[in-house]
Amino acid sequence: MRPFTYERAEDAKDAVRAVRETPGARFIAGGTNLIDLMKADVERPAHLVDVGRLPLAEISETPEGGLRIGAMTTNSQVADDLRVRARYPVLAQAILAGATQQLRNKATTGGNLLQRTRCPYFYDVSKPCNKREPGAGCAALDGLNQGAAILGATEACIAVHPSDMAVALTALDARVETLSPSGETGSMAIEALHRLPDSAPQHDTNLEPGSLITAVVLPPPPQGGQVYRKARERASYAFALVSVAVAGDAVALGSVAHKPWRASRAEAARAAGASPAEAMAAELESARGYGRNDYKIRLAARLGAAAVEQAMNGRAA
Ligand code: SF4
């Protein structure tokens, strides 16, 4: 690991100022992804600004009847919160489907959203990777791409976003609150946070560089059932091959694209009277595989339809 300097921020505005004014500075909170990336020499920050103890670890009611989840809440704290479990079970299920208890105890809400892809070539600095080194090429196109995207990918990058939590938040129409480098507060729909790779896969999000996520805001719970389903290679501590979040009429897919994928076509098809299977088929019309990940198209269709049916029938996951 390369040498770096470190400071702990006591205030959110001081934190963004420190990152803005220090060349090569990055935020760190739980560190469950960033430290791995630093050890692999993928991330090379010169300075870390620790935001993990900022007073942003509360979960509170909003006047609209939703919840405001501070960005420094741990994944365990959110999944264990009785209000989340009662009103947003899809979110609790998604968080508990991810990582391990130890990791969930450290990982934060903000950090979970900003974790980076687990494409094996992104972590192997001896292999070409446009996300790590723009213009280098993409080793996954003809390589180990069994986990790769089936929707919204480009030849520049076929990686997927690895978060479970973000998929549930997408189905729940959450919003993300931010603090810009100049200290201005902002808010964006979670669908606008992450981006497709296009020709610039080095950018995972639409956040202004140096911005800090301060909270996630949930609207009032939707009418109808909520379900999170995750297909993976083993029963725990594995990233999704495909995941599905259903929250009322909303459907989102995980591990199928560079961002959590809102299944808008499936939702429109369901509203027009299509069966869950027909709705998922409509969603996946434009899906394509890259060889080893071709199976994900069928898996997404079946898991998606099963999750929608489960939510309609009100069964627990
Ligand atoms: Fe890099 Fe993306 Fe290609 Fe993986 S899929 S090697 S992250 S450019």
How far, in Å, is the centroid of ligand 1 from the Cα of 139? 6
Distance CA 28, CA 56 (A): 14
Q: What is the mean pLDDT of residues 242-260?
A: 98
What pLDDT, in 10s, does the model give residues 145-164? 999 999 999 999 999 999 99
| Structure-token match 């299944």, residue found | 263
How far, in Å, is the centroid of ligand 1 from the Cα of 201? 8
148 CA: nearest ligand 1 atom: 5
What pLDDT, in 10s, does the model give residues 156-185? 999 999 999 999 999 999 999 999 999 999
Residue 112 and residue 96 in contact, taking contact as beta carbons nearer than 8 Å = no
Using CB distances shorter than 6 Å, the residues near ligand 1 are: 117, 119, 121-122, 129-131, 138-140, 157-159, 201
Res. 234: pLDDT tops 60:
yes
In testing the pocket of ligand 1, which one of 141, 146, 158 has its CB within 8 Å of the most ligand atoms?
A: 158
Res. 316: pLDDT tops 70:
no
Mean pLDDT of the chain: 97
Residue 113 and residue 120 in contact, taking contact as beta carbons nearer than 8 Å = no
In testing the pocket of ligand 1, which one of 117, 154, 155, 203 has its CB within 8 Å of the most ligand atoms?
A: 117
How far, in Å, is the centroid of ligand 1 from the Cα of 204? 12
128 CA: nearest ligand 1 atom: 6
Residue 141 to residues 200, 242, 289, Cα–Cα distance (Å): 16, 19, 10
How far, in Å, is the centroid of ligand 1 from the Cα of 119? 6
Which of 15 and 317 is assigned the larger pLDDT?
Answer: 15
In testing the pocket of ligand 1, which one of 157, 259, 290, 292 has its CB within 8 Å of the most ligand atoms?
A: 157
Count the neighbouring beta carbons within 10 Å of the beta carbon of residue 100.
10
